[in-house]
């Protein structure tokens, strides 16, 4: 049933293709004269033409498409990407190459017009079933663009239309400025006088158009942009295959990028929603040999070309990163499934272009952006990945250079320089490319993978050289910060692991003779065979509740791993001046590395905080025993608070290295530490975290670590000077103020909250009771310190608490 549904989708199959020629629509009495002209009057000798899927013609500043009538009603994918952005656009998080929309379109003929309609395959039913007409009626396809036919070609097989307005008017569906950014930058309107089509190129299976969009904006990203936002957009129109690939039904226990569907013919008492995975079409070249268990080449391998701009020095590492995936595909029964190629010369392939959808390319972008991406273009009807352009931004080298120094400098001499040796930086680049290729193959991040390995195993050279830092290259576990000085021979850089082989086998193994629905039980059995083994578990890490599923976390014990990481940072800081300084240069690199080190400190702290009110998630289906969600044991949560009191909220004197700070800032160390500690405290006292703790207490009683106990332990740690009668330094005074202000803010926002928010939980009572307890303690102990400023500080806190509780002091 699923196989039929997925192949059909919601489509206008009852709509006939009209292929009238001009003489077929000859003027009848009372009709207006047709505007259709002879071909050579529209596409003149001045035209600059490019033949392909739709032949494109530039006549002056007008762009025409020559639409073959045989391609009317064919499914095409329209992909809108940002090709060039102004500095600071989207806060620096929107980069060239970012995809803003992906939609299926069909070109249709309507009298003397050609319409481009947006087609959805999300809602579907079997053609001929009673509900089919209703599904069609309630999913009427919008017209994105319409143009009058200007001419027909000589043999009447193509219609010529002008499409300039599609790319120079403001069309929301292909726009690069989101409604949120329009509001942020106070965009007034598109300025057509400064918007134009830059280029149009046609290829056998796609058409590419680049166009500049210029907007008037009151508050553009940067002041020097003078009330203007100009951006370069790239629109790709890709012909989708008529021979549809059989989809594979997704299972949330194995991580895949997916496409959602709604089946209105389901026997369930609802529109049955399900997902299909996004993957390339791999079919064994020798089916009988494949069935015998032999490794077989695919009919069409997955090929990535290197960008001609890729420096020769880095090409071997890029190619290795791509072809590393062949090990995983061998687990699925394929050999030579993934191939990396150098860019062809003009003599080898004069038609080669990275814009051609027939070629997937690893693009090397000269940009200050510190990132890499692995996007792909997917057929939403079946989940088939059509093409992928992986993007490597040149400045991403800087990210890995800095991280390697910060997290491995204490243990590894090779990391003690900004001139990272080629062997190490090349290996990092190789694994970044492998990670992005994983995305392009259909795999999302698996942040849970790293928790499968015992933390101390990452100090073992034999273990790390064989198994890496995590079972999956799709985890964020970039440098081994657990290893300590003296742990000779350990691996420092991530690599592919057993989960990757398992996931590729699950998604790509060819199962002949089975429909998508019939495959489902086979695929589920493969998962059940691995059930209970953490190496094969998946967790995206984006819900933020599972401490075992976090970005950059290493090992199964986040507290121990963070202790190891902090121990290394403390050894690195005194050496940063020496490791980053060069004669006749300033201290910009030192400042950058020190700032990023602070961010990693906060990351280690965050890994521990996630245990407080944390919930372990083990993805299961109803045929498996046990629960999906389990609260973190109270002893682990208590240990996390003890760690935070010792490492997060005490004064980090080791970060306040005078030799270092004296070179990069005149002042501001107090504010910097306040920012790091304050954000960590806000994270710890997050509303949703406290609510999970209340729920745990309600369910598990005394076995739970209650919010009252947590706040009591936290208060005793943060206000230890009050209870000991000792001096509180400036850094401690800041975190103590933050504690009081955070609790007070919950109470002061009481009347501002919408019904069902904080006011309907026990958080208000908790914070009020906590402040009342602290007020009693302050009154009893505020005069015990022999430091006058500390006494003033205690009195200031009393005033803040009284104001929060609305008490007449």
Count how many Cα atoms sit within 13 Å of the Cα of residue 568 in the half-sphere of its side chain: 30
Q: Has residue 173 been placed in a domain?
A: yes
Of 287-291, 669-673, 786-790, 804-808, the poorest mean pLDDT is in 804-808
Same domain, 545 and 613: no
Q: What is the mean pLDDT of residues 521-541?
A: 96
Q: What is the mean pLDDT of residues 619-628?
A: 94
Residue 447 near residue 553, CB atoms below 8 Å: yes
- Domain limits at 680? 605-805
- Which ranges constitute the DSSP H helices of 128-229? 132-137, 164-168, 179-185
Range among 350-364, 495-509, 775-789 with highest mean pLDDT value: 495-509
Boundary (domain end) residue, out of 239, 255, 272: 239
DSSP annotation string for 717-747 = HHTHHHHHT----HHHHHHHHHHHHHHHHHH
pLDDT at position 135 over 70? no
Instruction: Look at residue 315 in the predicted model and tell me its pLDDT.
Output: 96
Q: Has residue 340 been placed in a domain?
A: yes
Instruction: Look at residue 8 in the predicted model and tell me its pLDDT.
Output: 36
Encode pLDDT of 441-480 as tens digits: 999 999 999 999 999 999 999 999 999 999 999 999 999 9
Q: Has residue 249 been placed in a domain?
A: no
Same domain, 456 and 543: yes
Distance CA 581, CA 527 (A): 52
Instruction: Look at residue 134 in the predicted model and tell me its pLDDT.
Output: 53
Same domain, 37 and 116: yes
pLDDT at position 161 over 90? yes
Instruction: Look at residue 270 in the predicted model and tell me its pLDDT.
Output: 42
Same domain, 80 and 213: yes
- The residue among 614 and 22 whose pLDDT is bigger is 614
Give 141's pLDDT tier (boundaries 50, 70, 90).
confident
Query: Could you give the percent of the chain with pLDDT greater than 70?
Result: 90
Distance CA 29, CA 627 (A): 76
Q: Which helix (H) or strand (E) holds 67?
A: strand 62-68
Handedness of CA 661, 663, 665, 666 (dihedral sign): positive
Q: Has residue 183 been placed in a domain?
A: yes
Same domain, 304 and 163: no
pLDDT at position 21 over 80? no
Q: Has residue 101 been placed in a domain?
A: yes
Q: Has residue 551 been placed in a domain?
A: yes
Same domain, 348 and 220: no
Instruction: Look at residue 588 in the predicted model and tell me its pLDDT.
Output: 95
Rg of the chain on CA atoms, in Å: 31
> Strands of 258-263's sheet, edge to edge?
123-124, 258-263, 272-277
Q: What is the mean pLDDT of residues 656-674?
A: 92
pLDDT at position 384 over 90? yes
pLDDT at position 365 over 90? no
Query: Could you give the percent of the chain with pLDDT greater than 90?
Result: 75
pLDDT at position 137 over 70? no
Give 23's pLDDT tier (boundaries 50, 70, 90).
very low
Same domain, 543 and 615: no
pLDDT at position 212 over 60? yes
Instruction: Look at residue 434 in the predicted model and tell me its pLDDT.
Output: 97
Boundary (domain end) residue, out of 239, 267, 298: 239
Residue 111 to residues 26, 64, 118, 794: CA-CA distances in angstroms?
Answer: 12, 19, 19, 82
Q: Encoding tokens for residue 406?
A: 């910060």
DSSP classification of residue 662: H
Boundary (domain end) residue, out of 175, 204, 239: 239
Encode pLDDT of 188-201 as tens digits: 999 999 999 999 99
Instruction: Look at residue 759 in the predicted model and tell me its pLDDT.
Output: 52
DSSP classification of residue 405: H
Parallel, antiparallel, or unpaired: how do β-strands 55-59 and 48-50 relate?
antiparallel
Distance CA 462, CA 446 (A): 24
Same domain, 199 and 296: no
Same domain, 798 and 680: yes
Across-strand partners of 63? Answer: 58
Instruction: Look at residue 350 in the predicted model and tell me its pLDDT.
Output: 83
Number of Cβ within a 10 Å radius of residue 39? 17
Same domain, 548 and 629: no
Give 77's pLDDT tier (boundaries 50, 70, 90).
very high
Q: What is the mean pLDDT of the chain?
A: 89
pLDDT at position 14 over 80? no
For 409-413, the CB contacts below 8 A with 24+ separation are: 409/568, 409/571, 409/572, 409/575, 409/579, 410/484, 410/485, 410/567, 410/568, 410/569, 410/571, 410/572, 411/483, 411/484, 411/485, 411/486, 411/487, 411/490, 411/492, 411/568, 412/483, 412/492
Give 372's pLDDT tier (boundaries 50, 70, 90).
confident
pLDDT at position 405 over 60? yes
Instruction: Look at residue 20 in the predicted model and tell me its pLDDT.
Output: 45
Distance CA 447, CA 547 (A): 10
pLDDT at position 805 over 50? yes
Encode pLDDT of 256-274 as tens digits: 999 987 754 544 544 467 8
Encode pLDDT of 304-339 as tens digits: 999 988 999 999 999 999 999 999 999 999 999 999
Total domains present in the chain: 3
Instruction: Look at residue 396 in the predicted model and tell me its pLDDT.
Output: 87
Instruction: Look at residue 9 in the predicted model and tell me its pLDDT.
Output: 37
Give 128's pLDDT tier (boundaries 50, 70, 90).
low
Instruction: Look at residue 587 in the predicted model and tell me its pLDDT.
Output: 95
Q: Has residue 153 been placed in a domain?
A: yes
Distance CA 355, CA 65 (A): 18
Q: Has residue 595 been placed in a domain?
A: no
Same domain, 22 and 89: yes
Instruction: Look at residue 1 in the predicted model and tell me its pLDDT.
Output: 38
Give 715's pLDDT tier (boundaries 50, 70, 90).
very high
Residue 429 near residue 398, CB atoms below 8 Å: no
Residue 770 near residue 715, CB atoms below 8 Å: yes
Instruction: Look at residue 761 in the predicted model and tell me its pLDDT.
Output: 76
Instruction: Look at residue 16 in the predicted model and tell me its pLDDT.
Output: 36
pLDDT at position 660 over 70? yes
Q: Encoding tokens for residue 71?
A: 């391609």
Instruction: Look at residue 453 in the predicted model and tell me its pLDDT.
Output: 98
Give 15's pLDDT tier (boundaries 50, 70, 90).
very low
DSSP classification of residue 575: G
């Amino acid at each position: 049933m699923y196989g039929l549904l997925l192949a059909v989708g919601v489509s206008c199959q009852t709509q006939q293709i009209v292929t009238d020629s001009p003489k077929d629509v000859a003027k009848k009495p009372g009709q207006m004269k047709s505007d259709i002209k002879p071909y050579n009057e529209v596409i003149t000798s001045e035209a600059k033409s490019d033949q392909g899927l739709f032949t494109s013609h530039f006549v002056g500043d007008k762009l025409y498409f020559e639409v073959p009538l045989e391609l009317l009603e064919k499914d095409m994918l329209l992909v809108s990407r940002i090709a060039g952005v102004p500095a600071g656009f989207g806060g620096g998080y929107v980069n060239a190459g970012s995809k803003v929309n992906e939609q299926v379109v069909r070109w249709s003929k309507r009298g003397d017009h050609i319409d481009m309609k947006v087609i959805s395959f999300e809602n579907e039913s079997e053609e001929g079933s009673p509900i089919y007409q209703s599904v069609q009626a309630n999913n009427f396809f919008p017209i994105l663009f319409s143009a009058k036919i200007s001419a027909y070609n000589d043999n009447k097989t193509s219609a010529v239309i002008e499409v300039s307005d599609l790319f120079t008017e403001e069309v929301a569906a292909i726009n690069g400025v989101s409604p949120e950014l329009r509001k942020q930058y106070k965009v007034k309107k598109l300025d057509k006088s400064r918007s134009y089509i830059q280029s149009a190129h046609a290829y056998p299976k796609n058409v590419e158009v680049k166009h500049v969009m210029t907007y008037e904006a009151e508050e553009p990203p940067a002041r020097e942009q003078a009330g203007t936002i100009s951006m370069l957009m790239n629109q790709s129109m890709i012909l989708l295959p008529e021979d549809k690939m059989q989809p594979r039904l997704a299972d949330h226990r194995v991580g895949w990028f997916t496409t959602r569907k709604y089946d209105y013919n389901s026997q369930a008492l609802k529109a049955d929603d399900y997902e299909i995975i996004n993957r390339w079409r791999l079919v064994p070249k020798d089916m009988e040999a494949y069935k015998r268990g032999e490794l077989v080449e695919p009919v069409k391998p997955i090929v990535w070309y290197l960008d001609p701009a890729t420096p020769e020095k880095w090409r071997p590492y890029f190619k290795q990163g791509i072809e590393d995936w062949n090990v995983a595909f061998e687990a699925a029964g394929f050999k030579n499934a993934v191939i990396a190629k150098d860019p062809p010369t003009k003599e080898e392939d004069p038609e080669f272009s990275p814009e051609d959808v027939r070629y997937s390319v690893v693009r090397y972008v000269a940009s200050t952006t510190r990132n890499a991406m692995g996007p792909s273009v997917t057929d939403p009807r079946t989940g088939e990945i059509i093409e992928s352009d992986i993007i490597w931004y040149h400045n991403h080298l800087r990210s890995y250079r800095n991280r390697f120094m910060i997290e491995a400098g204490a243990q590894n001499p090779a990391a003690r320089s900004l001139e990272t040796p080629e062997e190490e930086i090349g290996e990092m680049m190789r694994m970044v490319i492998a990670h992005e290729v994983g995305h392009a193959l259909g795999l999302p991040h698996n942040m849970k993978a790293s928790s499968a390995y015992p933390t101390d195993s990452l100090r073992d050279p034999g273990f790390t050289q064989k198994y890496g830092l995590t079972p999956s290259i799709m985890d964020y576990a970039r440098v081994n910060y657990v290893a300590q000085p003296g742990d000779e021979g350990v691996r420092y850089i991530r690599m592919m692991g057993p989960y990757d082989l398992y996931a590729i086998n699950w998604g790509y193994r060819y199962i002949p003779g089975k429909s998508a629905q019939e495959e489902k039980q086979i695929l589920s059995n493969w998962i059940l065979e691995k059930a209970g083994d953490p190496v094969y578990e998946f967790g995206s890490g984006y819900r933020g509740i599972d401490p075992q599923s976090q970005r950059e976390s290493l090992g199964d014990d986040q507290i121990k791993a963070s202790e190891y990481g902090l121990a290394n940072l403390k050894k690195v800081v005194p050496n940063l001046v020496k490791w980053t300084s060069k004669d006749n240069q300033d201290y910009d690199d030192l400042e950058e590395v020190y700032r990023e080190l602070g961010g990693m400190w906060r990351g280690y702290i965050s890994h521990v905080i996630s245990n407080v009110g944390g919930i372990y998630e083990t993805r299961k289906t109803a045929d498996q025993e046990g629960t999906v969600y389990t609260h973190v044991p109270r002893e682990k949560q208590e240990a996390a608070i003890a760690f935070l009191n010792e490492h997060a909220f005490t004064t980090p004197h080791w970060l306040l290295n005078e030799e270092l700070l004296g070179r990069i800032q005149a002042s501001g160390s107090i504010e910097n530490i306040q920012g790091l500690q304050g954000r960590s405290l806000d994270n710890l006292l997050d509303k949703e975290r406290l609510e999970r703790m209340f729920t745990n207490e309600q369910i598990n009683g005394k076995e739970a670590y209650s919010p009252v106990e947590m706040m009591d332990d936290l208060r005793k740690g943060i206000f230890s000077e009050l209870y000991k009668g000792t001096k509180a330094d400036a850094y401690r005074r800041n975190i103590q103020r933050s504690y009081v202000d955070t609790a007070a803010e919950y109470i002061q926002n009481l009347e501002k909250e919408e019904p069902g928010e904080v006011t309907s939980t026990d958080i208000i009572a908790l914070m009020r009771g906590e402040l009342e307890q602290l007020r009693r303690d302050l009154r009893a102990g505020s005069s015990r310190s022999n430091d006058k400023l500390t006494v003033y500080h205690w009195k200031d806190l009393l005033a803040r608490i009284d104001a929060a509780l609305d008490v007449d002091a």
